[in-house]
Amino acid sequence: MIARVEPLTTTRRLGGPFDYALPEAPLAVGSIVRVPFGRQALDGVVTGFAETSVVADDRLVTPTAVREESIPAELIELALWMAAEYCSTPARALQLVLPPRGRARTELWAARTDALLDGQRLTPNQAALLDGLPRAAGTDLGALRRLEARGLVAIAPRARRRAPLVLGAADRAVAPTSAQAEALAAVAGGGAWLLHGVTGSGKTEVYLRATAAALARGEGVIVLVPEIALTPQTVGRFAARFGDTVALLHSALGEGERYDEWRRLRDGEARIAIGPRSAVFAPVRDLGLIVIDEEHDPSYKHEGDPRYDARTVAAFRIGRLGSPPSVGTSDAAVAEAPVGSAGMAGGSEVGGAAGGRLLAGSATPRPETWHALPRLTLRERVDDRPLPPVRVLDMRGARHPLHPETRRALTEARKAILLLNRRGWSNFLTCRTCGKVWECPQCDVALVLHRAERVVACHHCGHREPVPDRCDACGSPALARHGAGTERLEAELAEALDVPVFRLDADTAGAKDAVPRLLNRFAAAPAGLLVGTQMVAKGHDFPDVTLGVVVDADATLRFPDFRAEERTFALIAQLAGRAGRGPLGGRVLVQTTAPDAPAIQAAARHDTPGFLAGELARREALEYPPFADLIRVVCSAAAPAGPRAAAGEIADAAGHAAGASVLGPAPLFRLRGRHRSQVVVKARDRRAAIAAVGAAVEAAARRREHRDVAFAVDVDPQ
C-alpha distance from residue 280 to each of 213, 286, 347 (Å): 20, 14, 21
204 binds ligand ADP (CB under 6 A): yes
Stretch that binds ligand ADP, among 31-39, 147-155, 167-175, 266-274 (CB under 6 A): 167-175
- Please, what is the Cα angle at 436 between 431 and 439, to 5 degrees? 115
Site for Zn ion in 305-344 (CB under 5 A): none
Strand 246-248 and strand 272-275: the pairing is parallel
List 299, 427, 430, 442, residue binding Zn ion (CB under 5 A): 442
Which among 147-155, 175-183, 429-437, 502-510 is the span making contact with ligand ADP, rule CB under 6 A?
175-183
Please identify which residue in 196, 266, 463, 670 interacts with Zn ion, judged by CB under 5 A: 463
Contact pick of 47, 95, 126, 201 for ligand ADP (by CB under 6 A): 201
Residue placing its CB nearer to Zn ion in the complex, 491 or 710 = 710
Nearer to ligand ADP, 241 or 676 (CB): 241
Nearest-angstrom CA–CA distance, 308 and 714: 8
Rounded Cα distance between 169 and 174, Å, is 15
Least distance to ligand ADP, CB of residue 585, Å: 17
Closer residue to ligand ADP, CB minimum distance, 180 or 546: 180
Q: How far is the CB of 476 from Zn ion (least distance, A)?
A: 5
Is residue 299 at the binding interface for ligand ADP, with CB under 6 A as the rule?
Answer: no
Using the contact rule CB under 6 A, the part of the chain among 27-35, 199-207, 480-488, 507-515 near ligand ADP is 199-207
With a CB cutoff of 8 Å and minimum separation 6, the contacts of 560 are none
Interaxial angle between packed helices 641-654 and 686-702, expressed in degrees from 0 to 180 and rounded to the nearest 10: 140
Of 200-208, 221-229, 421-429, 590-598: span binding ligand ADP (CB under 6 A): 200-208
Q: Is 236 in the site for ligand ADP (CB under 6 A)?
A: no
Q: 210 or 458, CB closer to Zn ion?
A: 458
Alpha-carbon span 196 to 335, nearest angstrom:
11
Closest of 329, 533, 274 to residue 420, by C-alpha:
533
- N- to C-terminal Cα distance for the chain? 44
Instruction: Count the neighbouring beta carbons within 10 Å of the beta carbon of residue 340.
Output: 11
What string marks each residue from 126 to 165 as x (binds ligand ADP by CB under 6 A) or -?
----------------------------------------
The interface region with Zn ion, picked from 53-61, 455-463, 492-500, 514-522 by CB under 5 A, is 455-463
Question: DSSP string of 660-690?
Answer: -EEEEEEEEEEETTEEEEEEEEEESSHHHHH
Q: Does 232 bind ligand ADP (CB under 6 A)?
A: no
C-beta of 160 vs 385, nearer to ligand ADP: 385
* Number of residues in contact with ligand ADP under rule CB under 6 A: 15
Site string for ligand ADP, 365-384 (x = CB under 6 A): -----------------x--
Among 200, 275, 374, 528, binds ligand ADP (CB under 6 A): 200
- Helix H or strand E segment including 292: strand 287-292
* Near ligand ADP by CB under 6 A: residue from 23, 48, 176, 401: 176
Listed in sequence order, the residues at least 6 apart from 634 whose beta carbon sits closer than 8 Å to its beta carbon are 668, 676, 677, 678, 711, 712, 714
Report which of 240, 310, 322, 242 is spatially closest to residue 282, judged by C-alpha positions.
310
> What is the total residue count of the chain?
718
| Residues forming beta bridges with residue 547, ordered by sequence position | 416, 587
- Binding residues for ligand ADP, rule: CB under 6 A, are 172, 174-177, 180, 197, 199-205, 382
